[in-house]
Amino acid sequence: MSSKFRSVPDQLWFLISDSPETSNVNTTAIATSSPEPDINELVEFLRVLQIALICLRVLSCYISCKDSLPPMMPGNATNEAQDQLPVFNSPPLAFTSPYATSLPNGSQHPRPNSTEISLNDGMCRDKNAAGGPGESETVPQLCRRLSTDAYTDKYTRTQPRLSSECVDQYLVDPFAVDSVNSADSANLSSKQIKNIQVPEDSGENVEAIPHYKPVENLTMHYPELTGAVLDTDLDGTSRTRELVTFHKSKTTLIPPRYSGYSPLSGSKPSGSGLHLPSIVNDVPRAAGATANVKLEAEAYIGGLHRMKSASLLSCNPLENMKSLPVLPYAVGTDSVRSKLSIAESSSSSKPPQSTESLNMLNSMERQETPIDKRKFSSDLVDGLEYSQSSPKKKRKTTLSLNGAKHCNCKKTKCLKLYCQCFSAGKYCAEFCACQECHNKADYEDTVIKTRQVIESRNPIAFASKIEQHNNQFINSEGGTCATPSSGRHKIGCNCKKSMCLKKYCECFQANVPCSTGCRCDGCKNVYDKNEEYDATKHGVDKEMVSDRADERTFYPGSCHSHNPDDSTNHRMVELPFQLVSSGYLQELAILASNVDSTHMLLQTNNEELNVGSYNWPLDDNNPGMAHQFPPRWDTLVNQRHLTPLSDSPLMSMTPSTSSRTRDLTYSQIHLTPGTGNVSSGVSPQWRISLITPTTELNEILGTESLQSFNPDYRLYHTLEDDTPKMLKDSTTSTENVKVSSPNQNHRVSPPESHMHELGSSSSGPLRSARQISLPSVPLFPPLGPCIDSKGSTDNSASKFENGNSSK
């Protein structure tokens, strides 16, 4: 048979014959058919020539594309990976994810050789849709484009850098419902196949976010990665496993109880993206959303990086979308954390778990906020460095990089609150070191029953122990900060020896000061209103501070820096505003319209108000601005009669103003109709936050709203569900001076921690509190508690930042 094509160049013949599909189509047909070999031979030869031409074209294109691609270095992983990140927006897809085995060990292919195969189309964007640097047609795009060609498989093989795995994967019917059971997957028996399905509703709101910047695309879509990942890199095996694990973990961490559906049921996720409570994510959304997003972002970095490293190529023959579809509204915090956790711990992870975990994927929530993704991208590099270079991470910890917990339970079968996974309402993940674990989908009934028993004793046993308040800022380096006082332990600790300065203390661990509920002895985890919350001042050793700095990313009250050099850095600022009435949305709209570049959208209930755009410069290099409100803002405030409260130091920041005071300051910005007085009763509370939209956004604005404006510059508001709590807390804030605790002498009521709440409450019940979230763009100069009044960086904050940045 091959003799008929002697004239075909060896390479081309290889291309043809090496492909099972091609072989079947071409050679087999030839061999079995034609009584007129000459004609058939000619025809086939012509076909071969045609193929050859196409191959050459493809090769040329690929070379061109390759040259245009930046090197796959961690430092610039962000932009690159975005194209690699598959997005699952469509109906359930089956994925095969054979582990990288095609490349011989020891082969030294550059990272771009790594192949990430996704049947999803997210990774392959239309070339025309691309814009900006590095947006020349990437290999994945090329691959996608080729997919439309009848000879794609052949052509793909012509590309030395295209993994044969990619082609194989490509050949697999992307629509196979279950690759594990499919014949296609059987063909890949030599490989480890991971089948991941996306909930049918995973594609909801796919079009909600029309387009994103390249970097953001990466971060926004990566979390949605649910497809199999092929890694043909040299160390691709492990990388692939990590990625696969990533997906699995996302499933395994779904708490059946809170997810509202059984992990095994395959029921359709709610789509709300809400997850079970945990210390980190159970905080009020107003605060938690921002913090968690950040946390997830950083935690997710490692995973992203590895993903990126592991995958340069992504082929999706089905992809025909010109913009990256996303599942924009899910909070996805837990999932993200789990992902990160996996990424971090993959090196020591257990062997791939059984298909049970994979089955859980059927019910996974695969939603992620665009914000989350954006944050991911911004922190990608930092997280990478963090996860890869920090020797401290070697230390055994129950908290992985992303904050996802993993346990080491030996006797409790992970069915007691001792188990952090169980306590967090999550199934144990594969990287848990637990023994005889029953906290998994296989024992769902047991888990549920056990939980019920525990809850019967303590209804809030699985609820977050931390009451988190909304107190986030951007620090001098653009990192997000939250004063530790922004939250508190609901129950309080009972430390006797650690002085609440070690992670034995749940308050300390949660980065909140001990409160009235604590029964600790010799507590030093307190606030001095005149001082920053600095662990070192309380005797915490340097390493601990450093560790804590690392771990602060695990908590809502975190203060971590971004890489100032990272242009993709997205800051989060949250400014509570109080409007006299919803009519002042127009004021805000005008305010916003006075600045440009940022598109704002306000909405009251179902009423949308496009308020134009605004832009506040943020100068990372000018710490002095840290305690200054953007002049523009002042101007705008004055112009628009958006007067801060009379007691607000907003416009009169004094040198003695602590960072937290500034927190207060900004927290107390009230938008009133020029009088400076805050109306009571009817004043809806608004908060303008540079946080990314989360589920709340989805719930409030809905898909259409989000579609209506640039996702990169998004202003939104959300119902402030925590308002009652805030009010309640504010009423108790005066009780922060611990009376019963031996530490009462040390404990100083941090009125600032609640001042913003009081301020809010000053206007009376906030029945219609709203949160306005501004896009994650530099709107304000560095503010927040991490910068003291003298313009210098807050000690604790800087420590944390340094700790992060140094990594």
Partner DNA sequence: GAGTTTGAAACT
Partner DNA sequence: CAGTTTCAAACTC
By the criterion CB under 7 A, which residues form the site for DNA? 395-399, 407-412, 414, 416-420, 423, 454, 457-458, 461, 465, 491, 493-500, 502-506, 509, 541, 544, 547
Secondary structure of 55-107 in HEC code, one letter for each residue: HHHHHHHHHHHHHHCCCCCHHHHHHHHHHHCCCCCCCCCCCCCCCCCCCCCCC
Minimum CB separation from DNA for residue 495, in Å?
3
Q: Is the CB of 368 or the CB of 430 nearer to DNA?
A: 430
Two structure tokens written together for 707 = 């579609």
Minimum CB separation from DNA for residue 105, in Å?
24
The dihedral formed by the CA atoms of 370, 378, 281 and 445, expressed in degrees to the nearest 10: 70
Minimum CB separation from DNA for residue 147, in Å?
45
Residue 220: burial class (beta carbons within 10 Å; 0-12, 13-18, 19+): buried
Strand ranges in 711-801 using DSSP code E only, listed in sequence order: 716-719, 770-773
Minimum CB separation from DNA for residue 252, in Å?
15
Residue 686 CA to residue 364 CA, distance in Å, equals 33
Parallel, antiparallel, or unpaired: how do β-strands 599-604 and 480-482 relate?
Answer: unpaired
Minimum CB separation from DNA for residue 733, in Å?
22
CA 135 to each of CA 138, 142, 217, 379: distance values in angstroms, whole numbers, following the listed order: 7, 12, 12, 21
The dihedral formed by the CA atoms of 632, 634, 636 and 642, expressed in degrees to the nearest 10: 160
Minimum CB separation from DNA for residue 17, in Å?
48
Q: Is the CB of 102 or the CB of 412 nearer to DNA?
A: 412
CA 615 to each of CA 108, 648, 667, 777, 780: distance values in angstroms, whole numbers, following the listed order: 47, 23, 20, 8, 9
CA 714 to each of CA 327, 773, 789: distance values in angstroms, whole numbers, following the listed order: 16, 7, 30
CB atoms within 10 A of CB 646: 12
H helix intervals, 668-721: 695-700, 702-707
CA 192 to each of CA 163, 238, 240: distance values in angstroms, whole numbers, following the listed order: 16, 12, 10
Minimum CB separation from DNA for residue 237, in Å?
21
Q: Is the CB of 399 or the CB of 481 nearer to DNA?
A: 399
Q: Is the CB of 507 or the CB of 664 nearer to DNA?
A: 507
Q: Is the CB of 414 or the CB of 618 nearer to DNA?
A: 414
Q: Is the CB of 202 or the CB of 546 nearer to DNA?
A: 546
Minimum CB separation from DNA for residue 404, in Å?
12
CB 660 within 8 A of CB 750: yes
Q: Is the CB of 500 or the CB of 588 nearer to DNA?
A: 500
Q: Is the CB of 446 or the CB of 610 nearer to DNA?
A: 446
CA 661 to each of CA 489, 641, 667, 726, 780: distance values in angstroms, whole numbers, following the listed order: 22, 23, 9, 18, 17
CB atoms within 10 A of CB 267: 14
Minimum CB separation from DNA for residue 549, in Å?
12
Residue 798 CA to residue 484 CA, distance in Å, equals 14
Minimum CB separation from DNA for residue 259, in Å?
21
Minimum CB separation from DNA for residue 458, in Å?
6
Minimum CB separation from DNA for residue 66, in Å?
41
Residue 501 CA to residue 509 CA, distance in Å, equals 9
How big is the chain, counted in residues? 807
Q: What is the largest CA-CA distance in the chain?
A: 102
Minimum CB separation from DNA for residue 521, in Å?
8
Q: Is the CB of 240 or the CB of 468 nearer to DNA?
A: 468
Q: Is the CB of 195 or the CB of 341 nearer to DNA?
A: 341
Closest alpha carbon to 797 in 560, 583, 522: 560
Minimum CB separation from DNA for residue 359, in Å?
25
Residue 336 CA to residue 342 CA, distance in Å, equals 10
Q: Is the CB of 350 or the CB of 410 nearer to DNA?
A: 410
> In this structure, which amino acid lies at residue 576?
P
Q: Is the CB of 220 or the CB of 421 nearer to DNA?
A: 421
CA angle 9–10–15, rounded 5-degree value: 100
Closest alpha carbon to 143 in 120, 167, 160, 165: 167
Closest alpha carbon to 201 in 430, 364, 73: 364
Q: Is the CB of 365 or the CB of 551 nearer to DNA?
A: 551
Q: Is the CB of 398 or the CB of 586 nearer to DNA?
A: 398
Helices (H) and strands (E) in the chain, counts: 28, 10
Minimum CB separation from DNA for residue 504, in Å?
3
Q: Is the CB of 410 or the CB of 767 nearer to DNA?
A: 410
CA 379 to each of CA 69, 244, 565: distance values in angstroms, whole numbers, following the listed order: 21, 22, 11
